[in-house]
């Protein structure tokens, strides 16, 4: 069965599958950092859910160059591909400086989010989101962000 949810979120996937999975066994292969929305929603819809955690998102010890550039106002754009990357970005900013400095450094930058959950995490940290692609597609996110950076540069 091929299903594409109307919204690219765990809740959207649950909504798309809810009336089709009662009595089914469902395997979820995903990050160890995923929320409980998907497995709990599928179980509530009557599925027997098994989850395999394939990877874990961790902040590398050497991370931080992009945060430093952002604090210094040297980024024209910044793209976030998961809520976890947003969390790590702001954790590093807190370690390196002050989140207020980060926000000030990103005032002119184009901020892109891969989807609604990532955009929510960005907003929860006090930044505005400029770009969210229609589908969860990095190429589209990157293209739209570059286009907006060029538009802003030509209007200066």
Q: Name 20's Cβ contacts closer than 8 Å, sequence gap at least 6.
A: 1, 3
pLDDT for 9:
78
pLDDT for 78:
97
CA–CA dist 18, 35 (Å, integer)? 18
pLDDT for 72:
94
Q: Name 130's Cβ contacts closer than 8 Å, sequence gap at least 6.
A: 110, 111, 112, 145, 148
CB 101 within 8 A of CB 73: no
pLDDT for 126:
94
pLDDT in tens, 133-149: 988 889 999 999 999 99
CA–CA dist 122, 7 (Å, integer)? 18
pLDDT for 7:
75
Across the 156 residues of the chain, what is the mean pLDDT of every consecutive 10-residue run? 77 90 93 87 95 84 88 96 92 88 94 94 96 91 96 90
Domains of the chain, start order? 10-55 (no CATH), 65-155 (3.40.50.10090)
pLDDT in tens, 69-88: 999 999 999 999 999 899 99
> What values do phi and psi take at 129, rounded to 5?
-105, 130
CA–CA dist 12, 37 (Å, integer)? 10
């Amino acid at each position: 069965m091929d299903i594409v949810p109307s919204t690219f979120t765990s809740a959207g996937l649950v909504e798309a599958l809810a009336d089709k999975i009662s009595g089914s066994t469902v395997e979820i292969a995903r990050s160890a950092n995923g929320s409980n929305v998907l497995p709990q929603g599928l179980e509530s819809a009557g599925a027997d859910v098994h989850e395999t955690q394939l990877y874990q998102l961790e902040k590398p010890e050497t991370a931080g160059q992009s945060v430093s550039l952002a604090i210094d106002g040297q980024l024209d754009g910044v793209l976030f591909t998961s809520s976890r990357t947003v969390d790590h970005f702001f954790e590093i900013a807190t370690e390196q400086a002050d989140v207020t400095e980060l926000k000030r450094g990103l005032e002119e930058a184009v901020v892109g989010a891969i989807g609604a959950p990532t955009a929510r995490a960005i907003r929860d940290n006090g930044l505005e989101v400029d770009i969210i692609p229609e589908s969860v597609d990095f190429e589209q996110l990157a293209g739209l962000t570059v286009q907006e950076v060029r538009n802003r540069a030509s209007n200066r």
